[in-house]
Amino acid sequence: MPQSLLRVRGLRTEFRSPRGSWFPVVNGVDLRLEAGETLAVVGESGCGKSMLAYSIMRLVPRPLGRPAGGEVLLGGRDLLQLSEREMRAVRGRDVSMIFQEPMTSLNPLMPVGEQVSESIREHESCTSGEAARRALELLDLVGIPEPAKRFGQYPHHLSGGMRQRVMIAIALACRPKVLIADEPTTALDVTIQAQVLALLDRLKREMGMGIILITHDLGVVAEWAQRVMVMYAGRKVEEASAEEFFGGPAHPYSRALLASVPSPELVLADGDHELTEIAGTVPPLDRLPQGCAFAGRCPRVQDRCGEEQPVLRPFGSEGRMVACLRADSPRAGEIGR
């Protein structure tokens, strides 16, 4: 089989608690990403999605956090073994990231065109004029109107949608192999959201990139992703093709996520909407229970769920994985119950 574009094995990242002890925020996560593929990483806030991205990018804040094991293989190199100088050469060139909030990610004191140019100059040997020309082309590529005019403007001059496009231009400046998009359409209206996602999908196909799309929006996942990975309490609990996931998720948490999404079928006769909520909250990562972290919220919990930590295992078709002690005995019509 051809080598995956990105391969993560047993990745573990720890944070220090106020009491001084270390606890995992990313706990033994495996993933693979192929060229031309979008892998969606989903789950509630606090499940470890963004921290997974920061761990891959080696952006975990120190001394609060630290890498604690695993491999991040890109082009045959383990990124966790690189020096910080070597890693700076990788970020932006081989793997790039679009952060959640462009207004806090962009430099408010630098024109947006210069910020795109700076990314090019950082990784490639070219003159300032050549970098500026390519930056202008990138602003045009990501659909910013009047790019020559916008080139010299500051982030606060631009709308939220245009700031997000500038972030995309910076991330794509050196044609990376892997793009991590962390909630790339947060706070954008529906029309702009669709435009941004369509842009990413088109550029992915044109450049042969792989995209890790971190999102809580399952509608976005259904439209744009080829595979889905579900995280809960720092662990991967399910992985499946998008078709399999939406056709019938195997993990009770995945089923609950899908059941909580509004749909036209849930509109009642009086016009109200019947929604299914997931009872409880994600447990604190520094105080996880002994067994399954979802046991306290699970409608199918058994006594052994509080004692045994489920491990990922193959489930059904090739490549599908689930970490649940009861995933082998689903009951028809149980989604959301």
Asked whether the CA dihedral 240, 70, 92, 101 is positive or negative, the reply is positive
What whole-number distance in Å separates Cα of residue 334 and Cα of residue 219? 21
Model confidence at 271, pLDDT cuts 50, 70, 90, reads low
* 3-state SS string for 203-231: HHHHHCCEEEEECCCHHHHHHHCCEEEEE
Specify whether the CB–CB gap between 247 and 222 falls below 8 A: no
Question: In this predicted structure, what is the pLDDT of residue 10?
Answer: 97
Model confidence at 265, pLDDT cuts 50, 70, 90, reads low
Model confidence at 279, pLDDT cuts 50, 70, 90, reads confident
- Work out the average pLDDT over 237-255: 94
Q: What is the mean pLDDT of the chain?
A: 89
Domain spans in the chain, listed from the N-terminal domain onward: 1-94+176-253+311-326, 107-175
Please determine, for residue 333, whether its predicted confidence score (pLDDT) is greater than 50: no
If you search the block for the tokens 């435009």, which residue do you land on? 195
Specify whether the CB–CB gap between 335 and 257 falls below 8 A: no
- Work out the average pLDDT over 252-271: 72
Assign 38 to helix, strand or coil.
Answer: strand
Predicted TM-score (pTM) of the model is: 0.90
Please determine, for residue 31, whether its predicted confidence score (pLDDT) is greater than 70: yes
Specify whether the CB–CB gap between 182 and 98 falls below 8 A: yes
For the domain made up of 1-94+176-253+311-326, give the CATH fold.
Answer: Rossmann fold (3.40.50)
Cβ-proximal residues to 216 (8 Å cutoff; 6+ apart), any chain: 42, 43, 44, 45, 183
Dihedrals phi, psi of 264, to nearest 5 degrees: -60, -30
For residue 144, the Cα-to-chain-centroid distance in whole angstroms is 24
Question: In this predicted structure, what is the pLDDT of residue 190?
Answer: 80
- Work out the average pLDDT over 54-71: 94
Question: In this predicted structure, what is the pLDDT of residue 97?
Answer: 94
Question: In this predicted structure, what is the pLDDT of residue 26?
Answer: 97
Distances from the Cα of 34 to the Cαs of 49, 145, 170, 200, in angstroms? Answer: 19, 32, 22, 16
- Taking each helix axis from N to C end, the angle separating 112-123 and 160-172, rounded to the nearest 10 degrees, works out to 10
Specify whether the CB–CB gap between 248 and 317 falls below 8 A: no
Please determine, for residue 334, whether its predicted confidence score (pLDDT) is greater than 60: no
If you search the block for the tokens 């009861």, which residue do you land on? 326
Model confidence at 129, pLDDT cuts 50, 70, 90, reads very high
